[in-house]
Every structure is written in C-alpha cells, then in structure tokens.
Amino acid sequence: MKRSVPFEQEHEIFRDSLKRFLENECVPHLEKWCDSGVMPREYWKKLGEQGALCPWVAEEYGGMGADFLFSVVLAEEIARYLGDSAVGVPLHSDMVMPYIASYGSPEQKAQWMPAAVTGEKISAVAMTEPGAGSDLAAIRATAKRDGDGYVINGQKTFITNGTQADLVVLAVKTDTEVSPHQGMSLFVVERGTPGFTVSEKLEKIGIPFQDTAEMYFEDCRVHTDNLLGEEGKGFIYLMEKLQQERLVVSMSAQVRAEVILEDTIEYCRSRELFGKPLSSMQNTQFKVAEMATEIELGRTMIDRLIVEHMKGEDIVTEVSMAKWWITEMLNRVANQCLQLHGGYGYMVEYPVARAWVDARVQTLYAGTTEVMKMIIAKRMGL
C-alpha cells in the first residue's frame, strides 16, 4: 500500500530488524503467552535491547533521541506480528513514558527513564476506576498532603500492563473542593510501595496475553518527589497526551485491519468450493473490494495525521475521528473476513477467529466510540 509518511532509510532499517526479531523470537511463543496470560518480562528486555522501547527518549536518559516515526514503526510491527494482545508495548513506550518525559523533573527522568528504555521497568497509566471511565472527571481516588508526602487512597481498574507494572502514572484528586479540572494531579507510584497492591489478571474475552488488572491504594504513602509536574494540573496533562495515545491506538487498529484482509485474501485463494476458488466468486470479490476501500481510506487518514502530529499541530478533532472510525472499521473487516472463512473462521486455530475477538476492545479503550463523537461534536461547537 502506498504511504505518504516520510519514512527514511533509518526507519526501514529499524523496521527490518524489528520484524526479524518479532518473527523469529516472539511469534513462536505466542501460544505459550496466550496460555500464561502475559508477555514475559524477558521479552520486554529483549525489546529494549532492540532499541524498540521509547526510542524517542533523549540520549542522556538512555534512549536514541529518535523521531516519532520510530514509534510509528514500533506500533505497526507490534500490531502486525503480535496482535492486539501486545498493546502494552506501545502503551508503555508512547503513551505512558511521555508523561514522565514531558512533566517530570530532570531527577525524575534520570530515575525512571533509563530502565523504561531497557525494558527493566514496565509502565502503566491508571485513570479508570470502577465508578469512572468515560467520565474521567468523576474519579474518586485521592492523594492528601501529609508532611513531605501524600497519602493515596482509591481503586483503579482495567489497567493495561497491570500485573507487571513497575511504574504507574496514577490520576488522583488532590483537591476535592475545586472543579475536577483543577483538582486532579498525577503521581508516579512504584511497584512495592507499601499500601499499593494489584489484583490477579482480569479474565477478558480477548487479548489473552495482555495482563489487565485492578490496582488498590490503601493509605499508600509517596514522597512529594513522586508528584509529576504541578499539583492540580493532572487533568490538563491527561488531555494533552490523549492526542498521541489515540493516534497510536488508531495506527495499530489500521494495521490489524490490513493484516486480517491480507490473510483472508490468501485463504480465499486457497479455498475451493463448487469447483473453483472462493476468491473467484463475485460476492467474495465485492466484499474484498469494499474492505480494501475502507482500509485505504483509513490509511490515507492515519498517514496524514502522523505527519501533522509530528509537526506539533492540534489534531484532537481529527484523531478522535480516526480513533472511532478506524476501530469500528477494523471490527467490520474482522467480522466480514470471518464470514469469508466459513466455519473455519470460528475455529481458534485460524488467525481470523482470534483477530475478530481481539478487535472488539479497540472501540472501548483509549476512549469509546461514543466519547470520540462527543469530543468531535464539542469541538464543532455543538
């Protein structure tokens, strides 16, 4: 497929070596990871050795100081080879650590970034609570100032990388008297801090090796050094970073749709019925043509947004459009591709079966389809 993103030779070299690594060293273990429900820590470290985690981090903190296109390559190839279950990798690399890079002090960056680059420390972002998902302003977790620290109480749920996370960027209220937009703050809470515990991995219908979990904070004391940026600015920080988070999720969803269609075209060529290949039947050709058209539209949109995001433009409206449309398109494609597989599509040994179940989460996390539409309508002045 033709791309309008200005990839250069360095990005293609990175892509080739990452592809080789994922294909040879990760793909053979996917079934084992699905059974155990987690991507083992040693593979995080191997990804770190590949320079694949947080490639954008400045050299002084152990990174390569690479541009955003390295992150694009990472998200695309992880989605292509490891599927939706591995969403925790781009989440760590391009959704969580950017909070520390943008709002952390030099000391905080020196403390946490190098180990995130090597994969020795895995990160998570904890916003959602049992009583507050789409309505982020309604979170109830609090951090109360106490001497040289804060005491955190509350519960978070559905946290990606939850069971393995060493660093959690946590959204809490530091002031419940003012509006949530002024009373929210972000903290980095480290694994092992007394009062911070994590549940077993939550049982989900899909993305089997993503270790999504609940987190509990009971009189969990952290030092003021764990406050990220300024007290009371948490809501603004979250809003600032959601553009990139939603862009990365959309990029992954786009690649998933492309991969499922490629796989299905191959299947349709090899499957014979009524004495001819399934691919030669007009219904198949029309369905494939429709899906290819939608995928091309998604690709055109996402590539444009990657370029605009790199220029630092405000693309919140367009990214919200991409997030809901591409993730819904992925679900349409997965469903139609499963149909073209007939009964085999319902058998777990066929990739399309897993792809169909896994795709379902994409319209939910990182802001639901409905929340994206609310943002678009609001920004249109409605």
- Residue number of the CB atom closest to ligand FAD: 133
Half-sphere exposure at residue 325, Cβ-oriented, CA atoms within 13 angstroms: 16
Minimum gap (Å) between residue 157 Cβ and ligand FAD: 7
Indicate which single residue of 283, 370, 377, 379 sits in contact with ligand FAD (rule: CB under 6 A).
370
Query: From CA 361, how far away is CA 93, in angstroms rounded?
Result: 20
* Residue 98 lies near ligand FAD (rule: CB under 6 A): no
Q: Which of 239, 104, 95, 127 is nearest to 181 (CA)?
A: 239
What is the token pair recorded at 93?
Answer: 């690399």
CB nearer to ligand FAD: give 245 or 294: 245
CB-nearer residue toward ligand FAD: 72 or 159:
159
Contact between 212 and ligand FAD per CB under 6 A: yes
Check residue 187 for interaction with ligand FAD (CB under 6 A): no
Distance CA 176, CA 171 (A): 13
Phi, psi of 304 (to 5 degrees): -65, -40
Under 8 Å between Cβ of 161 and 92: yes
3-state secondary structure at position 364: coil
Is 87 or 340 the residue whose CB approaches ligand FAD more closely? 87
Site string for ligand FAD, 40-69 (x = CB under 6 A): ------------------------------
Please choose, out of 102-110, 127-135, 244-252, 263-271, the segment that lies near ligand FAD by the rule CB under 6 A.
127-135
User: Which one among 55, 133, 183, 208 touches ligand FAD, defined by CB under 6 A?
Assistant: 133
Q: Which of 267, 365, 375, 376 touches ligand FAD by CB under 6 A?
A: 365
- Return the sign of the alpha-carbon dihedral for residues 115, 118, 122, 124: positive
Q: Which stretch binds ligand FAD (CB under 6 A): 39-47, 128-136, 285-293, 336-344?
A: 128-136
Integer Cα distance of 371 and 326 in angstroms? 15
The pattern of x and - marking residues 310 through 349 that bind ligand FAD according to CB under 6 A reads ----------------------------------------
Report the residue number, 288 or 375, with the smaller CB distance to ligand FAD: 375
Q: Does 128 bind ligand FAD (CB under 6 A)?
A: yes
Size of the site for ligand FAD (CB under 6 A): 20
Identify the residue whose tokens are 């004495």: 275
Considering only 125, 319, 322, 337, the residue that binds ligand FAD (CB under 6 A) is: 125
Under the binding rule (CB under 6 A), the answer on residue 160 touching ligand FAD is yes
Stretch that binds ligand FAD, among 44-52, 118-126, 269-277, 303-311 (CB under 6 A): 118-126
Cβ-Cβ contacts under 8 Å for 381 (sequence gap 6 or more): none
Bridge partner list, 145 = 150
In the complex, least distance from residue 218 CB atom to ligand FAD, rounded to whole angstroms: 19
Helix residue spans in the chain (DSSP H): 9-21, 30-36, 41-49, 68-82, 88-90, 97-103, 106-118, 180-183, 234-270, 282-310, 316-340, 351-359, 369-379
- Smallest gap from Cβ 124 to ligand FAD, in A, equals 6
CB 118 within 8 A of CB 45: yes
How many CA atoms lie within 13 Å of 148's alpha carbon, on the beta-carbon side? 2
Q: Does 34 bind ligand FAD (CB under 6 A)?
A: no
Q: Which amino acid is at 311?
A: K
Query: Among all residues, which ones are annotated catalytic?
Result: 245
Which stretches of the chain bind ligand FAD, using CB under 6 A? 124-128, 133-134, 158-160, 204, 212, 361, 364-365, 367-368, 370-371, 374
